[in-house]
């Protein structure tokens, strides 16, 4: 049996997404993911989605989901993702994600799914975990495989989910014949790893114990300056890059370097003999200077929700064209009747 095939893109396809679980992306999202996405759209056929279905795995106010989905999409664009070159869309607007997820779930053993990190961690802590969280990695696999994505941008904390995706694709292909593209990881630049300002041994995250360690991209500039001035450093007063001995100072140097383009070595020379106050002030100036045009673009985008919704609709239509071909191919392989046109 020869399955229907979708035409290969002129460029390799890449896919990534973020959940709309907060009212603003943070500096770690921007430097660790969004900046990479912008660069990737030059060389790849790029698909960037708002993972609104994944956001439902935790109790959330419906109004928050609606608002944050638009805000997240707008932040992709404000950060430099071009909707003329990259498909920007909501996960829930392309039904093929969940259609493929069901087929993949039927190829996944219960024990395999129960060992997934997020589900295991949450249940070990005695926290409530729903079936959506249990099947979260399978939907994540479907998100990737439905687009025949050759590459997936990943950080260290996402490697397990990509391995699951690869395992499911290989298992499906072994049973039903060559059908799904087995994706390769696209390792994000390590230099963009941004740490918490108050706990600099941990990544900057919206789940941080204190908001003081988080720089939100939509924070008021004065608030950003205050947070950076109160960033944890150390007592020896020497400005040098040493992640193990001086994590706080190293984090500030990393932020400066990532936004200014100045090498760490040049920054160490520049700040030689200066105190931490000078470092913090200059980092604050660099961050505010980078974020102000981003915030202006956000204001423009959010002032016209109809235009934003139009961008999402066009992105979903482009995504569905690819996804439906993969869905049809998979359905034929497993013996499901093709839907009548």
Task: Show which residues are catalytic.
Answer: 122, 203, 206
Contact 212, 26 (CB under 8 A): no
Query: How far is it, in rounded angstroms, from Cα 215 to Cα 220?
Result: 10
Q: Which among 78, 70, 71, 96 has a CA at the least distance from the CA of 15?
A: 96
Question: Binding site annotation covers 207?
Answer: yes
Question: Binding site annotation covers 195?
Answer: no
Question: Binding site annotation covers 77?
Answer: no
Question: Binding site annotation covers 205?
Answer: yes
Query: How far is it, in rounded angstroms, from Cα 256 to Cα 283?
Result: 5
Contact 155, 188 (CB under 8 A): yes
Question: Binding site annotation covers 5?
Answer: no
Question: Binding site annotation covers 156?
Answer: yes
DSSP code per residue over 132-173: HHHTHHHHHHHHHHTTT-SEEEE-GGGHHHHHHHHHHHHHHH
Query: How far is it, in rounded angstroms, from Cα 12 to Cα 184?
Result: 11
Question: Binding site annotation covers 69?
Answer: no
Kindly report the number of other CB atoms within 10 A of residue 296's CB atom.
Answer: 11
Question: Binding site annotation covers 28?
Answer: yes
Question: Binding site annotation covers 242?
Answer: no
Three-state SS at 58: coil
245-249, long-range: CB within 8 Å, 24+ apart, which pairs? 247/195, 247/200, 247/201, 248/197, 248/200, 249/276, 249/279
**Phi, psi angle pair for 152, to nearest 5°:** -135, 120
Contact 324, 146 (CB under 8 A): no
Question: Binding site annotation covers 98?
Answer: no
Query: How far is it, in rounded angstroms, from Cα 253 to Cα 246?
Result: 11
Question: Binding site annotation covers 203?
Answer: yes
Question: Binding site annotation covers 206?
Answer: yes
Element spanning 119, H or E? helix 117-124
CA 284 to chain centre: 25
Question: Binding site annotation covers 20?
Answer: yes
Q: Using alpha carbons only, how large is the chain's radius of gyration in Å?
A: 22
Question: Binding site annotation covers 310?
Answer: no
Question: Binding site annotation covers 212?
Answer: no
Element spanning 118, H or E? helix 117-124
211's tokens = 């908001």
Q: Binding site for ATP: which residues?
A: 19-21, 28-29, 155-157, 194, 203-207
Q: Binding site for L-tryptophan: which residues?
A: 143
Q: Binding site: which residues?
A: 19-21, 28-29, 143, 155-157, 194, 203-207
């Amino acid at each position: 049996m020869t399955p229907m095939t979708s035409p290969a893109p002129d460029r390799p396809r890449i896919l990534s997404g973020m959940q709309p679980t907060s009212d603003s992306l943070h500096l770690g999202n921007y430097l660790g993911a969004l900046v990479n996405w912008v660069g990737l759209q030059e060389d790849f056929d790029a698909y960037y989605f708002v993972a609104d279905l994944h956001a439902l795995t935790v109790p959330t106010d419906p109004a928050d989901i609606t608002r944050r989905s638009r805000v997240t999409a707008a932040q992709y664009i404000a950060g430099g993702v071009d909707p003329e070159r990259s498909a920007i869309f909501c996960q829930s607007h392309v039904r093929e994600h969940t259609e493929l997820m069901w087929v993949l779930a039927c190829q996944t053993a219960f024990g395999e799914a129960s060992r997934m990190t997020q589900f295991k961690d949450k249940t070990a802590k005695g926290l409530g975990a729903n079936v959506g969280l249990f099947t979260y990695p399978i939907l994540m696999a479907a998100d990737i495989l439905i687009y025949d994505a050759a590459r997936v941008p990943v950080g260290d904390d996402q490697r397990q989910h990509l391995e699951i995706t690869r395992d499911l694709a290989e298992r499906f292909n072994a049973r039903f014949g060559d059908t799904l593209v087995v994706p390769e990881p696209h390792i994000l630049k390590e230099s963009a790893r941004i740490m918490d300002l108050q706990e600099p041994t941990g990544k900057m995250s919206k789940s941080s114990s204190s908001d003081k360690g988080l720089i939100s991209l939509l924070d008021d500039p004065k608030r950003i300056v205050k947070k950076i001035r109160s960033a944890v450093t150390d007592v020896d007063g020497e400005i040098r890059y040493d992640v193990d001995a001086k994590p706080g100072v190293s984090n500030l140097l990393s932020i400066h370097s990532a936004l200014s383009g100045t090498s760490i070595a040049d920054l160490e020379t520049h700040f030689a003999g200066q105190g931490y106050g000078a470092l913090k002030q200059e980092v604050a100036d660099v961050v505010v200077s980078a974020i102000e045009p981003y915030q202006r673009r956000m204001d423009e985008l959010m002032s016209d929700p109809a235009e934003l919704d139009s961008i999402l609709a066009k992105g979903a239509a482009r995504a569905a064209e690819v996804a439906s071909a993969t869905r049809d191919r998979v359905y034929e392989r497993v013996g499901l009747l093709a839907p009548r046109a």
